[in-house]
């Protein structure tokens, strides 16, 4: 963003103000995440930077909160992590299957009532979570699935499918339908065509939708708060209780792990997006 040499002074000043504003906003977005890292290595119990930490004294840092997270007595994180992963994985699989099928149907030009159906399928993403939570709780309580893993998985499928529908329809919008016709003319049946031709081409979209569904489930707390019993506690539930009652540095250790996880997911999502664009022949 180098300015041409003939720029007038006032635009030059304005340009630097603009850069300053942008720097501030980027800082505002990303900096809060980095407060968590150093504090999670705090040797003390308080959530403030101690004098020792400010002077970079090695004794002021320790791994005790990470040890507490893993080995702590009566600690809920092990069970919570197990539950979170089980629920998120099943919810992701469910969302991918239902969402991809629906996206295939919606992308067909023969689909009747496309607008209203699309709006319905996306609605769980738009309706405030608290309302979804109340409604899903009423349903699960009626069919006896409240406080079960199955109930939470179903609830997370509801919340996760919109993301899969959106990403897969976006991928299919650049899809060249003549390849499926070519496959059919060469004698392939529809299922075979889907598995061998369509699926490999839309796979990046499917996986990135799946990542969204996974993160949605893994991070979801409002609906789980209504549905979960003691056995179904998840990482977000434990963090929520921890943040409400007593902010302990163990939470920061967990939070650091979650940030690392989200960084990994971000990298895979970005790589997938680029691969998908390459496959669909979009050059930017």
Partner 1 sequence: MSSETKQILTTDGIPLEVSLKKAEKKNKIKAFLLVAPLLLFLIITYVFPIGEMFSRSIDDKMITNMLPKTFKEMEKWDGQELPPEEVFTAFYYDFKVLVEKQEHGKLGQRLNKEKNGFNSITKKLFRQVKRNKIDESISIKEQIMKVHKRWRDVEYWQAIKRTAPPYTMAKYLKGMDMYYAADGSITQVEEDRRIHRILWLRTLEIAFFVTLFCFLMGYPIAHLLATLPMKYSNLLMICVLLPFWTSLLVRTASWMILLQQQGVVNDFFVMIGLVADDNRPEMMYNKVGTYVAMTQILLPFMVLPLYSVMKTISPSLMRAGKSLGGTPFVAFWKVYFPLTIPGIGAGCLLVFILAIGYYITPALVGGASGTLISNQIAFHMKQTLDWSFASAMGLMLLSGVLVIYWIYNKLVGVDNIKLG
- Of 63 and 143, the one with the shorter C-beta distance to partner 1 is 143
Give which of 211, 191, 225, 226 is closest to 95, Cα–Cα.
211
Smallest gap from Cβ 70 to partner 1, in A, equals 18
What is the smallest separation between the CB atom of 180 and partner 1, expressed in angstroms? 13
**Residue among 180, 262, 277, 279 that touches partner 1 (CB under 8 A):** 262
Piece of 33-41, 68-76, 85-93, 195-203 that binds partner 1 (CB under 8 A): 33-41
CA 235 to chain centre: 14
Show contacts with partner 1 in window 211-250 (CB under 8 A): 212, 215, 218-219, 221-222, 225-226, 236, 239-240, 243-244, 247
Residue 123 found at the interface with partner 1 (CB under 8 A): yes
CA distances, 215 to each of 96, 191, 209 (Å): 13, 30, 10
Q: Under 8 Å CB-to-CB from 273, ≥6 apart: which residues?
A: 204, 208
**Residue 138 interacting with partner 1 (CB under 8 A):** yes
In three state form, how does the secondary structure of 98-141 look? Answer: HHHHHHHHHHCCCCCCHHHHHHHHHHHHHCCHHHHHHHHHHHHH
Closest CA to 88 of 219, 179, 199: 219
Stretch that binds partner 1, among 55-63, 71-79, 178-186, 267-275 (CB under 8 A): 267-275
- What whole-number distance in Å separates Cα of residue 238 and Cα of residue 221? 9
The one among 13, 35, 179, 199 contacting partner 1 by CB under 8 A: 35
Q: Does 122 participate in binding partner 1 (rule CB under 8 A)?
A: yes
Site for partner 1 in 67-86 (CB under 8 A): none
Among 146, 202, 252, 253, the residue binding partner 1 under the rule CB under 8 A is: 252
């Amino acid at each position: 963003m180098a300015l041409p040499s003939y720029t007038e002074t006032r635009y030059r000043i304005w340009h630097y103000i603009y850069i300053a504003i942008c720097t501030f906003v980027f800082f505002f977005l990303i900096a809060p995440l980095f407060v968590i890292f150093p504090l999670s290595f705090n040797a003390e119990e308080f959530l403030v930077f101690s004098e020792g930490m400010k002077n970079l004294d090695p004794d002021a840092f320790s791994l005790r909160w990470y040890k507490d997270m893993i080995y702590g007595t009566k600690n809920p994180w092990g069970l919570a992590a197990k539950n979170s992963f089980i629920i998120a994985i099943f919810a992701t699989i469910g969302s991918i299957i239902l969402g991809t099928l629906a996206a295939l149907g919606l992308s067909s030009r023969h689909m009747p009532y496309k607008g209203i159906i699309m709006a319905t399928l996306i609605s769980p993403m738009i309706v405030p979570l608290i309302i979804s939570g109340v409604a899903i709780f009423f349903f699960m309580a009626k069919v006896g699935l409240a406080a079960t893993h199955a109930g939470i998985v179903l609830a997370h499928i509801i919340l996760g499918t919109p993301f899969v529908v959106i990403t897969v329809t976006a991928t299919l919008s650049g899809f060249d339908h003549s390849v499926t016709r070519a496959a059919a003319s060469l004698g392939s049946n529809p299922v075979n065509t889907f598995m061998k031709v369509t699926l490999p081409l839309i796979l990046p979209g499917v996986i990135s939708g799946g990542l969204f569904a996974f993160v949605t489930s893994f991070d979801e707390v409002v609906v789980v708060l209504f549905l979960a019993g003691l056995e179904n506690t998840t990482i977000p539930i434990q963090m929520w209780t921890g943040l409400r009652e007593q902010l302990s540095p163990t939470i920061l250790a967990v939070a650091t792990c979650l940030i690392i996880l989200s960084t990994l997911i971000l990298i895979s999502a970005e790589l997938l997006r680029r691969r998908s664009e390459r496959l669909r022949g979009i050059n930017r």
